[in-house]
Structure 1
């Protein structure tokens, strides 16, 4: 039995240079335009057996605009950034440079008073491990880029520091297949998105 989970990165709500921790802003016009341009390529994912999304406004809006009608999953929420919520990395660094350095260096650190990177990766990984098992089951999840990075670190059993080296672009897709702690990263041709693994 194998499960196939395809993550779709939410469309953007701001310039990529102005990404904010736990960004709850809705899609901006550029984000809506990106969804419209990508809809044809991604609409086949609506045939997934199960469709989920992060609770952020842009993840929900992206999933709805693509015709997924996704079910909100609290476990796919962004990392709890405590008092840094709503700040950019640059703004947090300007206010608390030593705290940001500690957070970037230690996956167990919580200088912001929120969730550690390690806890975040574990939470997203636990969600991945608890998906219903049916042979060939296809799942699609629209999520924030940070959530997808956490899922990939978990699935590949990579060191937590790998999280900082993964770049997830808006509306990109990433697929993992497997179950029970054994996951594989899968690269699909666009025409193969609708076929069962």
Structure 2
């Protein structure tokens, strides 16, 4: 019997360059439009046996907007970025360029005084490993892109630095299946036809 967890990336609340560490801003108008456009495609996931979300305002709003009525999971919160909380990467770089370089070079580094990347990955993986697995169970979890990247690194048992090589776009989905300590990545067929440039 397999547990299947489908992650849905929260709708964006700003451009990627304006993304903030531990962003607590609500979903903006552009984000709500993203949710409206994707709702038809993502609504079937509301039939999951269990529905969760990260505690961030945009994850909760995305889950509610998609009709999931998700339960907030503190273990799915963003990485604790200490004194960099609320800053963009550019702002952190302007204030502490050496610290940002050290953080990007060493996954264990915490020059901001918060959680290390491996600790963050372990926390998210621990959440996965404690999901109920009675029979075939479908779970949907709306989460910040950073949380989904951490989950993928955990599932693939990849080195922590792999985290920086995973791009998670808003309202994208990815599924993992298995049970505690034995997860696999599931890539399903596209739900919509790709647009041509």
- TM-score normalised to the size of structure 1? 0.95
CA deviation map 1:55-105 (0-9, x unaligned): 000000000000000000000000000000011111111111111111111
Deviation at 1:117, TM superposition (A): 0.4
> 2:149 is matched with which residue?
149
User: Conserved in 1, the CA contact under 8 Å of 2:128 and 2:180?
Assistant: no
User: Conserved in 2, the CA contact under 8 Å of 1:63 and 1:142?
Assistant: yes
> 1:180 is matched with which residue?
180
Unaligned runs of 5+ in 2: 192-197
User: How many corresponding residue pairs?
Assistant: 191
Separation of aligned partners in 2, 1:122 and 1:103: 18
> 1:63 is matched with which residue?
63
Give runs of aligned pairs for residues 157-176 of structure 1, distance below 5 A: 157-176=157-176
Deviation at 1:180, TM superposition (A): 2.1
CA deviation map 1:23-59 (0-9, x unaligned): 0000110000000000000000000000000000000
Separation of aligned partners in 1, 2:135 and 2:91: 46
Give runs of aligned pairs for residues 37-186 of structure 1, distance below 5 A: 37-186=37-186
- TM-score normalised to the size of structure 2? 0.95
Separation of aligned partners in 1, 2:184 and 2:135: 16
Separation of aligned partners in 1, 2:73 and 2:43: 21
Separation of aligned partners in 2, 1:43 and 1:108: 38
Q: 4+ runs of 1 displaced by more than 3 Å?
A: none
Separation of aligned partners in 2, 1:190 and 1:107: 33
CA deviation map 1:85-129 (0-9, x unaligned): 011111111111111111111111110011000100000000000
Separation of aligned partners in 1, 2:10 and 2:126: 21
Separation of aligned partners in 1, 2:3 and 2:126: 14
Separation of aligned partners in 2, 1:39 and 1:103: 37
Unaligned runs of 5+ in 1: 192-197
87-96 or 123-132: which moved more?
87-96
Separation of aligned partners in 2, 1:93 and 1:66: 36
Residue 3 (structure 2) pairs with residue 3 (structure 1): yes
